[in-house]
Chain A
Amino acid sequence: MKVAIITFPGSNCDYDCYKALKDVVGADPVFRWHRETELGEVDAVVLPGGFSYGDYLRAGAIARMSPIMETVADFARAGGPVLGICNGFQILCEAGLLPGALLHNESLRFTSRDAYVRVETSNTMFTSDYEKGQILRIPIANGEGNYHADKETLARLEGDGLIVFRYVTRDGRVTEDANPNGSAHNIAGIINEAGNVIGMMPHPERAVEEILGSTDGTGVFTSLLGHISTAGAR
């Protein structure tokens, strides 16, 4: 599986994603600089976390104007898998590839800690290696992770099963206390209707080895790898 990791000025999780993809799941990641316009022959795209363009104007707002993003949008519209993590999620929302927006955390604080998230559906190419209802411990690190969308959009996300991850307590309950940033409906990750573009605030690439304290994020990458190998074999 060849995966393009897009590096923007200010991306800082690109190498973490590279390591998770290469050393942990055995994929073949390549970096693509934001000024490039070609992805090359890749099976998937990762928009990593960080602070692209210093979060100027709004987190992700300038990054989505990068030359490479037009190519990424075409790739996504053609059904190519796109995984946006943290700042990558913000960029996908700004680019209109996912609905809603990420606002400042309700607490006003940058929150960097482990969070418990529940897998709401294993019926996606990014979560098929998990069980529905499985509880994962994955780090979050964001100042603008407060997912917001209008009522109609939230109802659609709920109704169509497009909420992929939700913040929960350690034992899996959706409570206000378990919500680290004020996200609507405790949303930690969503997917588009076509099922090929996912955005999530938690960092699965930071939870892929025992030495990191958790391996719960690995499933995101193995699920994707599994999906691509099956798709390729068809």
Chain B
Amino acid sequence: MSRFTVEVHVTPRPGLLDPQGKAVHHALNALGFEEVEDVRIGKAIYLDVEASTLEEARERAAEMCRKLLANPVTEDFEIA
């Protein structure tokens, strides 16, 4: 067994209201970054996982996303 760090990204579903992203979008525009057309904010989760292979660690991480880390109703996840 070895130890792998798996990075997981959890993001709000496209089309779903992301109030945090909206607020940051307005703030960036107010700061003069007028080229910003959209902002979406999600989470990055770093998991240190014991597994035989990186592939196995990533598969386990995907299972963790389905069971807890992401809400299938509102969020997508991606193993980076």
Contact of A65 among B20, B68, B73 (CB under 8 A): B68
Bound Cα distance A105, B23 (Å): 12
Is B68 touching A103 in the complex (CB atoms < 8 A)?
no
The digit string for B6-47, where 1 denotes a CB below 8 A from any CB of A, is 000000000011011011000000000000000000000000
Q: How many residues of B contact A (CB 8 A)?
A: 11
Is A57 touching B73 in the complex (CB atoms < 8 A)?
no
| A19 is an interface residue with CB less than 8 A from chain B | no
* Most chain A beta carbons < 10 A, residue from B19, B20, B23: B19
The digit string for A93-115, where 1 denotes a CB below 8 A from any CB of B, is 11000011101111110000000
Provide the main secondary structure of the chain A interface: loop
Bound Cα distance A99, B73 (Å): 9
> Closest B-chain residue to A102, C-beta based?
B74
| B69 is an interface residue with CB less than 8 A from chain A | yes
Collect the chain A residues with CB atoms within 8 Å of residue B73's CB: 93, 99-101, 148-150
Collect the chain B residues with CB atoms within 8 Å of residue A101's CB: 71, 73-74
Give the top 8 A-B pairs by smallest Cβ distance, nearest first: A101-B73, A108-B19, A104-B19, A101-B74, A101-B71, A108-B23, A58-B71, A106-B19
